[in-house]
Structure 1
Amino acid sequence: MGSIHEWKAGLYDDKLGFVSQYGRGILEILNVQQGETVLDLGCGTGDLSHEIAQQGASVIGMDLSEEMMDRARTKYPDIHFISGNAENFTLDEPVDAVFSNAALHWVKNAEGVISSVWHALGKGGRFVAEFGGRGNVEMIVKSITDVLSQDYGVDANELNPWYFPSIGEYTQLLEQQGFRVTYAVHFDRPTQLEDGKNGLKHWLNGLAADVFFKDISESDKKDIFTKIATHASESLFDGESWIADYKRLRVVAFK
């Protein structure tokens, strides 16, 4: 969820479905109560917003991508979806909980996110989030960086759109805002990418193409993806599937 990233909503649903699939674990921690109002921040195409609504909550889904919002509204017309930027948003009425899955690592202005979440919550409200933590997709990023640097003279570090904090970094920001952090964990979650040997290509095309490769032609992009795959294969390809080196951060904090 970021202004520099144009989401491909169809690819997101078809080849990156693991994003919402893995988010179901954090839903248990959210522990929705009947009649609560929940903001799903960075909701993508709305799958988890739908699940939260099915558990008895009134849900607002928010995402920066208009393409994602259009698809979400088509899929789940009974849910209220609004366009908004996670680092600077306001709501008309306070909510009981703000939930976010696999979105906040797209927003480098973490202080802005946390301040907006704080002001969106009613007293005693909770913030429950999971996103990329320190070291997330490190091997993929290293492969991208090495290929772009060695073969194209491009400094990928300047293009990197992601924010992957440690527990200490993020909980400190929450506490500085006034939150009481009751749960925080950083864990490895090796993730099998969909579509076998093409999995890394789909991942790069869906999650990295518009930031690292936006000024590169389609034919050159194909060559780059092949080089990145060769570079990363020893660490991440098991002969049949790509296993992405995901590391996640989960937090629960109360206002």
Structure 2
Amino acid sequence: MKENRMEQRWDAEHYDERIGFVSRLGQSLIGLLQPKPAERILDLGCGTGDLTHQISLSGAVVTGLDCSETMIAKAKEKYPELRFVEADGETFRLEEGEAPYDAVFSNAALHWMQKPDKAIESVWLSLRPGGRFVAEFGGFGNVGAIIQALTSAVESYGVPVEKRYPWYFPSIGEYASLLEKQGFAVGYAELYDRPTPLDGGERGLRHWLAAFAGTFFAGLSEAEKEEVCLRCEAGLRPKLYDGKQWIADYRRIRIKAVKPVEQAG
């Protein structure tokens, strides 16, 4: 997070109980990673560890890393046999004497890192020569309708949202350029629409707002928070509610890049 921005706070219990679609939909990214037995893999932004665990079933030696103390505590509780580390995705480094990783994997985390060049540098320094970086995260236009409705509702209380905006949703060109500037060879990059059903039926949008939009609600009274939710639901219902569930307007970037052997250092 930038120093002048509000920090997103995470509720691990709510995440597991109401936002399970994040891990479910992230499982297909493991196919792009293609983990192999005995490989050392870092799961960057591991949350409560579900995908860390899934990768470990391949026989790879996986470490989960997340900046949230509550997420890491929950991951350790669920998967005590795995290693989890609390650290900032923008600034983490290998521990003294620690071997570099064969791969870094990241699902639905990089859009929370508003200094992408720093996060990419951290990934680069953690990889061995020839190591790969596989990630999926929010791309340009992600949840655009939700952001528009949320911004309008919050600003009606005279609250500017600029410093409350917690995400980084780049274009492919922007992000691939940052990877290449660091030295990565980008072999695959895709931006695609992924309409995403939210768990919880009628309350699905509220679950999403509670999990991911906490900075927008900071300083509002409970009555004001309720009014913001009602206004978001009313404005988005014609676009994003199908009569049974909310379907968020997700757009994702999926990338695979390699740290070339000849440029490693």
Give your verdict on TM over 0.5.
Answer: yes
- Whole-angstrom distance in 2 between the partners of 1:135 and 1:166: 9
Q: What is the SS of the residue equivalent to 1:71?
A: helix
1:246 aligns to what? 250
- Whole-angstrom distance in 1 between the partners of 2:162 and 2:255: 27
2:114 aligns to what? 108
- Normalised by the length of structure 1, the TM-score is 0.97
1:147 aligns to what? 153
1-10 or 217-226, larger mean C-alpha shift? 1-10
2:181 aligns to what? 176
Matched, 1:48 2:51: yes
Task: Map 1:80-119 to 2 at 5 A.
Answer: 80-91=83-94, 92-119=98-125
The one-letter code of the counterpart of 2:139 is: G
Give the fraction of aligned pairs with identical amino acids, expressed as a percent. Answer: 49
Give the deviation of 1:155 after TM superposition: 2.0
- Does the aligned pair in 2 maintain the 1:144–1:156 contact within 8 Å? no
- Normalised by the length of structure 2, the TM-score is 0.93
Give the deviation of 1:146 after TM superposition: 1.0
- Whole-angstrom distance in 2 between the partners of 1:117 and 1:45: 20
Unaligned runs of 5+ in 2: 260-265
2:263 aligns to what? none
- Whole-angstrom distance in 1 between the partners of 2:24 and 2:100: 28
Q: What is the SS of the residue equivalent to 2:141?
A: coil
2:77 aligns to what? 74
- Whole-angstrom distance in 2 between the partners of 1:61 and 1:90: 13
- Whole-angstrom distance in 2 between the partners of 1:228 and 1:152: 14
Say which of 220, 223, 228 aligns to 1:219.
223
Unaligned runs of 5+ in 1: none
The one-letter code of the counterpart of 1:5 is: Q
The 4+ residue runs of structure 1 with deviation greater than 4 A are none
1:193 aligns to what? 198
Q: What is the SS of the residue equivalent to 1:139?
A: helix
Number of positions where the alignment pairs a residue of Structure 1 with one of Structure 2? 253
Give the superposed CA RMSD: 1.2
Give the deviation of 1:42 after TM superposition: 0.3
- Whole-angstrom distance in 2 between the partners of 1:226 and 1:74: 35
Matched, 1:228 2:232: yes
- Whole-angstrom distance in 2 between the partners of 1:41 and 1:84: 10
